[in-house]
Structure 1
Amino acid sequence: MYGWIWRHLPGNTWIRALISLLLVLVVVYVLFQYVFPWAEPLLPFNDVTVNN
């Protein structure tokens, strides 16, 4: 998959590396802003019970 993306990016190696970095940053931004907040109520990480 990464090879396919790399081959389809325009420019030389430095431009491709810059575009790849920007793509990674966009994916991380989308995950933190939209996907993780949507999925948080569905995950059981906040269901903490303490027994006496």
Structure 2
Amino acid sequence: MRYGDGRDGMYGWIWRHLPGNLWVRALTSLVLVLAVVYVLFQYVFPWAEPLLPFNDVTVDGQ
């Protein structure tokens, strides 16, 4: 896949639309990733945890 052929996907689109030079884009993308991780751990995972079957464990023979 060549650069700029229109198939670079979502991350290429995000990178192109971030403002600033390379270092500003890198810092902005790091902040965005940290914000997504924060939202996942604080809101999404606690909401989804009761819906997941990880705690439904059956142990026979005890």
Q: TM-score, normalised by structure 1?
A: 0.98
User: Which ranges of 4 or more aligned residues in structure 1 deviate by more than 2 Å?
Assistant: none
Deviation at 1:42?
0.5
Amino acid aligned to 1:41: P
RMSD: 0.4
Structure ranking higher on relative contact order (CA contacts 8 Å, 6+ apart)? 1
* Percent of matched pairs sharing the same residue: 87
Deviation at 1:36?
0.1
The aligned residue for residue 34 of structure 2 is 25
Deviation at 1:6?
0.3
Deviation at 1:38?
0.3
**Higher Rg of the two aligned structures:** 2
Gaps of 5+ in 1: none
Give per-residue Cα distances to partners, 1:9-44, cap 9 Å, x unaligned. 000000000000000000000000000000000000
Q: TM-score, normalised by structure 2?
A: 0.82
Matching of residues 1-40 of structure 1 within 5 Å = 1-40=10-49
Give the distance between the partners of 1:14 and 1:26, measured in 2 at CA. 18
